[in-house]
Amino acid sequence: VTEQGLRRRLVSPDWWRRRLRTTLTRACEELFRRLGFVRAQASAYVSGDALTRVRLAAIKSKQWMSETAAVCEDTGEVLPLSQIAEHSLANPTLRRGELMLRARGFQEVAASRGDRCVMVTATCPSAFHPWLRDSGGTPNPRYNGTTPREAQAWLNQHWARARAALKRQKILYYGFRAAEPHHDATPHWHLVLYVAPDSLAAFRSILTRVWLKDYANEPGALVHRIKFTDEDATKGSGVGYLAKYVAKNIDGAGSIGSEISDESGRPVSEDAQHAVAWSRIHGIRQFQQLGGPAVTLW
């Protein structure tokens, strides 16, 4: 951020309006979350108010794009922004297709190298959850007051520590990470990673040690904090595992759309709308490539 850019932001009503709207929306959503409006027994992932906000914003954005056009100064060609967006990653179908194609590419590279696929579910400590799901939605007595963004920062911090340890051990890994909400909006991660067979034990040991460094004495931490699953060809591939979470968190397309979500009890096709709203409200990146070449080069 340059001094000139900073000055322009501070004197821009539009910049302040956008920042204040974001701050207000997140503050309201956190209040709804603390009061119990965001949980499996009420409205999983996001409150009804937040879902309405996101839906109205999408309608306004779609209307604006339909009324706005891009003009090429050299040729005079005119294209509606809605048409441009339809052919970009703003289109959920194209976004899902590219993610799956890149994941399939990783799988083919792993097969050629002889690397093993390991699927990881990494969660925050229980203290990051305001509500207990399995006890009728009662308040969590261990809750430490963190927001979903702070919980995501905790996950990022521990992944950075694990990444540094893996680098020191010269352990190569590559794959994808999907972030999705628990019923009370607290994020957790699903990772599909490929690792050399002789590095697999060290890889698991490092991630387990890092994830259990904090809140290690919590009940159930050893069982629930981080879980590993090896790829089983008889049950499906790592790409198939990732496809489930891509569909759940983009548009609920495909056969998975009719399945019932474990977190919310809703059909996945309906659940996807709430997951997307959760991501936008809290500013949490849903999917990230780990390792491998940059997307631009790809």
**Cα 243–Cα 244–Cα 248 angle in degrees, nearest 5:** 115
The residues near 34 (Cβ < 8 Å, ≥ 6 apart) are: 130
What is the Cα–Cα distance from 39 to 263, expressed in whole angstroms? 9
* Residue 245 is among the residues annotated as catalytic for this protein: yes
* Surface-to-core class of residue 235, CB atoms within 10 Å of its CB (0-12 exposed, 13-18 middle, 19+ buried): exposed
Structure tokens at 199: 């590095």
What is the Cα–Cα distance from 279 to 136, expressed in whole angstroms? 26
* Residue 215 is among the residues annotated as catalytic for this protein: no
What is the Cα–Cα distance from 244 to 254, expressed in whole angstroms? 10
3-state secondary structure of 118: strand
Structure tokens at 151: 């919980």
What is the Cα–Cα distance from 151 to 162, expressed in whole angstroms? 17
* Surface-to-core class of residue 193, CB atoms within 10 Å of its CB (0-12 exposed, 13-18 middle, 19+ buried): buried
Tokens 């048409």 label which residue? 83
**Considering 45, 174, 194, 241, which one is annotated as catalytic?**
241
Tokens 């495909």 label which residue? 254
Q: Which residues are catalytic?
A: 241, 245
